[in-house]
Structure 1
């Protein structure tokens, strides 16, 4: 490592490790997170670990824990710590929910979060659901093969020799061993996750989503159709958790409960989730249910619920005073340890040895901060603002340069974050749609590709078209829909909306998508043909390099209060850097349609990349 103050100072001028890192995002809970100081608020994370130990010992079955803290005090940091501490262990499964799009269908959304969480990698470097699948098989047929062996060797051999019939045989063997499992199709879908060619579709089915008939026939799974999606979703979620519980204790975390959304029944997000957790407490075999919220949310929303006592008993089930666990403000030692840990990670990554562990900060100044009892977020913000950074050379810079300078480090940091997690972000239709809409709103009054943008509208009472671009004195009305879902009724319905120009007052429908649409999806393909050939619509290819800057600047704007940035500063930065006006995706949406399918798409049938390194690569013979 380099030990040269001048080279370190050069590094500090161009890299501020604290800028833009005041918010813990879901991707950081699952993947690489912020540097953690285990001693900070250890009482909260230790409560979870202690509860798990007691469940392991049979003292408890299910434990409800609620953490309360003011904004920026570190609730999500604690959840991230718990996830990363549990990941190297075999006997726990981590489930996270931090986004609530539709409070009226919360059980359906919960199922989707359970299924997506089970796709995250566990200790064995495969998905958590694949670990469970391997355990089910091993127990039923008395083997000890790893998930990697099933993925790499056994399943490909069985598929070659027996086609898909072996999944049915395995399912029967498992049900004979565990007759209490009520739904054989859930077992079958779990088993299909060990097939590289079928894992995406099996996970999709387990999420409660409808597959095309081609895939359901191939895997022997029915499409679940019910007028009451909530009941069906909760049944699947409970059964998934019950099967998981044979081998692992679930830790189910509910974060970001203070968003201010209201259901059709007048309940807030926290109230809806509290009611859901009460039901889960009663129905799951064992596990930890963890909630994080503001103190005001607890006092003003949870304590006023009907039957509040019953809810509270389950949300803080083992707290002797029946109160949530409150996080503490940082003291002087906490602040020094926090900054030291962040800087140690930064210097190691850049192969530098600083003059002292806190360089360029002074320990005395950091300790003074502790007297005001700050939050983690405020300390990181102070470090970002007081870090050595490149200076604007002009002693009296114009106002617009000040705006650019204040936004730039946060934008760069968000860009790095977006790049690191682009594979998951590009699958998030909501984030892509909101980023695009935000960018188009910055272009009102501009003329691009012959379209003078007048306004951006939302279309009420429908769930598919994300927004409408109105321009050229109402002569152009482009309905934009981001659709990343795999083949099935979802893409069919989306395309049907995009070609219904009369109902939605459109002159053009625009599909934004990075994946092909399978030839077997006949209804979707017919709607696509009408969009492109009859309706003068367009299919714009979604490319990661085009959407990344739009997502990054939308993240900056979304966190503007935390970063202490104004709308004018952010909007000025967007205009000066031409982030929106010169974006290829923006321009392609506005340009004249080609009438052709894009040629730079990814194959929607392409199997997900799964680690296939196994110690023994021989073909394994098994008798069913």
Structure 2
């Protein structure tokens, strides 16, 4: 499973940049808000060089107080955008959106807009922003151009490090131009280097690409058009040396130190509960650092018991019981801190659901035995709107459920998807299932008509959901995507899902398979 689309790498790169900036930074706020604070201080320093530097939380509090009157926040954002552009001319819509990330009520909508997602027209009106950050056509060139604008702006304040890893994983697909994963990434790097515009005061950008020597010599170095020069400036890559025993011991000490400090525990030795000689022996056997750390994770629970005490405090009562659970918990934590970046990502949610249904083939849930997951044909008519088809048997009768995850706000997009979901004969389905957490705009009359026909006349279903319903499936899906990195097999992941009943008991999966209620959900999010 690819972790990005090889034929839409520009859009995937943009999404990665925006998602990264939406994560909490060192100051306890998102990195978008950190950037907005740096920009605000630039404005004030330009007016008065002796003005005090305002911290992120001070600025957030100030904007929050303004937010008691929405009009005042809008006035402040407009004023700051104008003043900023007088000193550092940038795309005014980009600057405005970044200042809006400081708003408690509209900040999340600003981040969605920056990511290129659709937001309700009423929200773009309040933000005073165009319908889309990517422009009307949303071509890959417009998308990439806006990504470069963001990077250029950040570089005015901070040095940027961009890393590309896992280029050596097997390709399950090729780009439309027939390029493999490392070649697609190499071309992207060339585009960044060639087109990124940096000022004389910029802090610069460093691009680090990690790959095996054979990948470099056989796939990248031979690429035409100066690609190798951009990937490695000297055309002489830096060879990474395997970790030695001393470095391995120090690394584990560092990780354990962070672990114990976060739990206010004091271990008897910096390596507790591990033996230094055992760690050195593992490294001497030629194991990689990843294999060694995996060994540590597996042995931690067995070594540290609830009865062990040191300095009057017990070590943690629970640790991941298996490598899969450890990876799953890690992905859950990451998802919990970035809900707004994926809750409306209908493509990602659909892919996770498809993975989940494939993992429960043969299971009987809500009287439906899941037999297979199929693509929706004919593709030229579907155009990707119905994501997949769940085929099964219910009381001896074949059921074919067309699943459409639809989080977009545009009435045209919603109408186009629903117009397909109600065409049972065309797409060989016996039931249509709309997966959507939000209302359909009252102004989208045709979409409303289709939704009513689906639910009231055709025996279809509209399944609403919340983040907590999707998070477990998405976390397991991410573990599966990164199974090479986690050194897990498909069987291990599926076994974990079955043993934990993570999928068969999931609300969203059960609702999709359950008998339709014949009603529109009452817990829908307002647009």
The bucket for the TM-score relative to the shorter chain is 0.7 to 0.9
| Equivalent residues in 2 for 1:495-574, closer than 5 Å | 495-517=418-440, 519=442, 524-551=447-474, 553-554=476-477, 557-558=480-481, 567-568=490-491, 571-572=494-495, 574=497
1:382 to 281, 284, 295: 295
CA drift at 1:115: 2.6
Aligned to 1:208: 116
Write the distance in 2 (CA, Å) between the matches of 1:471 and 1:543.
26
1:594 to 514, 517, 527: 517
| Equivalent residues in 2 for 1:596-615, closer than 5 Å | 596-601=519-524, 603=525
Q: 1:395-445 CA deviation, whole Å, 9 max, x = no partner?
A: xxxxxxxxxxxx962343244324423433662545543443333224334
2:384 to 463, 470, 473: 463
- Residue pair 1:316, 1:323 contacting (<8 A) in 2 also: yes
1:421 and 2:337 equivalent?
Answer: no
Q: CA RMSD in A?
A: 3.6
1:369 and 2:282 equivalent?
Answer: yes
- Residue pair 1:531, 1:538 contacting (<8 A) in 2 also: yes
1:188 to 68, 80, 96: 96
Q: 1:35-63 CA deviation, whole Å, 9 max, x = no partner?
A: xxxxxxxxxxxxxxxxxxxxxxxxxxxxx
- Residue pair 1:465, 1:479 contacting (<8 A) in 2 also: yes
Q: Which runs of 5+ in 1 are unaligned?
A: 1-97, 391-406, 606-624
Aligned to 2:229: 313
1:113 and 2:29 equivalent?
Answer: no
Write the distance in 2 (CA, Å) between the matches of 1:233 and 1:372.
48
CA drift at 1:265: 0.3
1:295 and 2:208 equivalent?
Answer: no
Write the distance in 1 (CA, Å) between the matches of 2:495 and 2:54.
58
- Residue pair 1:538, 1:593 contacting (<8 A) in 2 also: yes
Distance verdict in 2 for CA 1:568–1:591, change over 3 Å: same
Q: Secondary structure at the match of 2:434?
A: strand
Aligned to 2:311: none
- Residue pair 1:499, 1:535 contacting (<8 A) in 2 also: yes
Aligned to 1:263: 175
Distance verdict in 2 for CA 1:211–1:458, change over 3 Å: same
Distance verdict in 2 for CA 1:325–1:492, change over 3 Å: farther
Aligned to 1:443: 360
Aligned to 1:126: 29
Aligned to 1:325: 238
Q: Which runs of 5+ in 2 are unaligned?
A: 199-203, 304-319
Q: How many pairs were matched up?
A: 485
Aligned to 1:404: none
Write the distance in 2 (CA, Å) between the matches of 1:475 and 1:311.
53
TM-score, normalising length from structure 1? Answer: 0.68
TM-score, normalising length from structure 2? Answer: 0.79
CA drift at 1:383: 3.0
Instruction: Give the 4+ runs in structure 1 shifted more than 6 A.
Output: none
Write the distance in 1 (CA, Å) between the matches of 2:302 and 2:326.
14
Write the distance in 2 (CA, Å) between the matches of 1:133 and 1:576.
46
Distance verdict in 2 for CA 1:101–1:146, change over 3 Å: same
Aligned to 1:86: none
